[in-house]
Amino acid sequence: MFDAGERIFGAHGVRSGQQFVLRCLWDEDGLSPGEVARRLNLATPTVTRTADRLAVAGLLRRERHDTDARLVRLRLTVEGRRLESVIAQEMKRLTEEALAGFSSKERFLLIASLQRIHQNLAPTRNEQSERYRLRPVSG
Protein backbone atom coordinates (compact mmCIF):
# COMPACT_ATOMS: atom_id res chain seq x y z
CA MET A 1 0.00 0.00 0.00
CA PHE A 2 2.86 2.35 0.85
CA ASP A 3 4.51 1.72 -2.52
CA ALA A 4 1.24 2.39 -4.35
CA GLY A 5 0.87 5.66 -2.43
CA GLU A 6 4.44 6.65 -3.25
CA ARG A 7 3.81 5.97 -6.93
CA ILE A 8 0.50 7.82 -7.12
CA PHE A 9 1.22 10.80 -4.86
CA GLY A 10 4.87 11.04 -5.91
CA ALA A 11 3.75 12.08 -9.38
CA HIS A 12 2.52 15.29 -7.69
CA GLY A 13 5.55 15.88 -5.46
CA VAL A 14 3.88 14.43 -2.34
CA ARG A 15 5.24 11.46 -0.37
CA SER A 16 2.85 8.84 0.93
CA GLY A 17 1.49 10.01 4.29
CA GLN A 18 2.07 13.71 3.62
CA GLN A 19 -1.40 13.96 2.10
CA PHE A 20 -2.88 13.68 5.60
CA VAL A 21 -1.06 16.80 6.82
CA LEU A 22 -2.16 18.59 3.65
CA ARG A 23 -5.73 17.43 4.22
CA CYS A 24 -5.76 19.04 7.68
CA LEU A 25 -4.57 22.31 6.15
CA TRP A 26 -7.08 22.09 3.31
CA ASP A 27 -9.74 21.86 6.00
CA GLU A 28 -8.26 24.66 8.11
CA ASP A 29 -5.21 26.54 6.87
CA GLY A 30 -2.92 28.12 9.45
CA LEU A 31 -2.84 25.34 12.04
CA SER A 32 0.22 24.86 14.23
CA PRO A 33 2.21 21.61 13.93
CA GLY A 34 0.84 20.62 17.35
CA GLU A 35 -2.75 21.15 16.23
CA VAL A 36 -2.17 19.02 13.12
CA ALA A 37 -0.52 16.34 15.27
CA ARG A 38 -3.51 16.20 17.63
CA ARG A 39 -5.96 15.90 14.74
CA LEU A 40 -3.99 13.05 13.20
CA ASN A 41 -2.94 11.35 16.46
CA LEU A 42 0.73 11.83 15.61
CA ALA A 43 3.69 13.16 17.55
CA THR A 44 4.37 16.85 16.96
CA PRO A 45 7.97 16.20 15.81
CA THR A 46 6.59 13.87 13.11
CA VAL A 47 4.35 16.65 11.80
CA THR A 48 7.19 19.17 12.07
CA ARG A 49 9.46 16.98 9.90
CA THR A 50 6.66 16.42 7.41
CA ALA A 51 5.94 20.16 7.29
CA ASP A 52 9.63 20.85 6.67
CA ARG A 53 9.58 18.49 3.69
CA LEU A 54 6.35 20.00 2.36
CA ALA A 55 7.90 23.46 2.68
CA VAL A 56 10.97 22.36 0.70
CA ALA A 57 8.57 20.98 -1.95
CA GLY A 58 6.88 24.39 -2.12
CA LEU A 59 3.51 23.17 -0.84
CA LEU A 60 3.39 25.07 2.45
CA ARG A 61 5.25 27.75 4.31
CA ARG A 62 6.01 28.13 7.99
CA GLU A 63 4.81 31.46 9.35
CA ARG A 64 6.08 32.78 12.69
CA HIS A 65 3.70 34.54 15.08
CA ASP A 66 4.07 38.33 15.15
CA THR A 67 4.80 38.59 18.87
CA ASP A 68 5.78 35.06 19.94
CA ALA A 69 8.57 33.60 17.79
CA ARG A 70 8.01 30.16 19.36
CA LEU A 71 4.63 29.85 17.66
CA VAL A 72 4.54 28.65 14.06
CA ARG A 73 1.56 28.40 11.73
CA LEU A 74 1.52 26.18 8.66
CA ARG A 75 0.12 27.95 5.61
CA LEU A 76 -0.54 26.41 2.23
CA THR A 77 1.09 27.92 -0.82
CA VAL A 78 -0.86 28.40 -4.04
CA GLU A 79 0.59 25.10 -5.27
CA GLY A 80 -0.35 23.35 -2.03
CA ARG A 81 -3.92 24.61 -2.34
CA ARG A 82 -4.06 23.61 -6.03
CA LEU A 83 -3.25 20.00 -5.15
CA GLU A 84 -6.38 19.59 -3.01
CA SER A 85 -8.65 18.32 -5.78
CA VAL A 86 -5.82 16.41 -7.47
CA ILE A 87 -4.86 14.50 -4.31
CA ALA A 88 -8.53 13.88 -3.45
CA GLN A 89 -9.00 12.23 -6.84
CA GLU A 90 -5.81 10.21 -6.42
CA MET A 91 -6.91 9.04 -2.95
CA LYS A 92 -10.25 7.96 -4.38
CA ARG A 93 -8.48 6.11 -7.20
CA LEU A 94 -6.07 4.40 -4.78
CA THR A 95 -8.96 3.34 -2.54
CA GLU A 96 -10.85 1.89 -5.50
CA GLU A 97 -7.72 0.06 -6.64
CA ALA A 98 -7.17 -1.37 -3.15
CA LEU A 99 -10.79 -2.49 -2.81
CA ALA A 100 -11.21 -3.90 -6.32
CA GLY A 101 -13.19 -7.12 -6.19
CA PHE A 102 -14.70 -6.41 -2.76
CA SER A 103 -18.49 -6.40 -2.59
CA SER A 104 -20.28 -3.49 -0.92
CA LYS A 105 -20.85 -5.68 2.14
CA GLU A 106 -17.18 -6.71 2.28
CA ARG A 107 -16.09 -3.06 2.00
CA PHE A 108 -18.41 -2.08 4.83
CA LEU A 109 -17.18 -4.92 7.06
CA LEU A 110 -13.54 -4.10 6.32
CA ILE A 111 -13.96 -0.42 7.19
CA ALA A 112 -15.96 -1.26 10.33
CA SER A 113 -13.28 -3.75 11.43
CA LEU A 114 -10.45 -1.26 10.82
CA GLN A 115 -12.34 1.38 12.79
CA ARG A 116 -12.74 -1.01 15.71
CA ILE A 117 -9.02 -1.84 15.64
CA HIS A 118 -8.24 1.88 15.62
CA GLN A 119 -10.57 2.48 18.57
CA ASN A 120 -9.06 -0.44 20.48
CA LEU A 121 -5.55 0.92 20.04
CA ALA A 122 -6.36 4.60 20.58
CA PRO A 123 -9.11 4.73 23.22
CA THR A 124 -8.15 8.23 24.38
CA ARG A 125 -7.97 9.91 20.99
CA ASN A 126 -9.45 13.38 20.90
CA GLU A 127 -12.60 14.46 19.10
CA GLN A 128 -10.68 16.36 16.42
CA SER A 129 -9.18 13.14 15.08
CA GLU A 130 -12.70 11.77 14.50
CA ARG A 131 -12.89 13.99 11.42
CA TYR A 132 -10.00 12.05 9.87
CA ARG A 133 -11.20 8.53 10.66
CA LEU A 134 -11.80 5.88 8.02
CA ARG A 135 -15.08 6.22 6.20
CA PRO A 136 -17.17 3.64 4.34
CA VAL A 137 -16.43 3.46 0.64
CA SER A 138 -19.28 2.95 -1.79
CA GLY A 139 -18.87 0.13 -4.19
The range of the structural domain enclosing residue 64 comes to 2-98
Do 85 and 111 lie in one domain? The reply is no
Instruction: Kindly indicate the confidence band of residue 8, based on its pLDDT and cuts at 50, 70 and 90.
Output: confident
Instruction: Kindly indicate the confidence band of residue 136, based on its pLDDT and cuts at 50, 70 and 90.
Output: low
Instruction: Kindly indicate the confidence band of residue 5, based on its pLDDT and cuts at 50, 70 and 90.
Output: confident
Do 15 and 81 lie in one domain? The reply is yes
In tens, the pLDDT along 16-35 reads 899 999 999 999 999 999 99
Domains of the chain: total = 2
The pTM of this model reads 0.78
Residue with more model confidence, 123 or 50? 50
DSSP string, 34-51: HHHHHHHT--HHHHHHHH
Q: What is the pLDDT of residue 10?
A: 86
53 SS3 class? helix
64 SS3 class? strand
Task: Check the CA dihedral 17-97-10-57 and report its sign.
Answer: negative
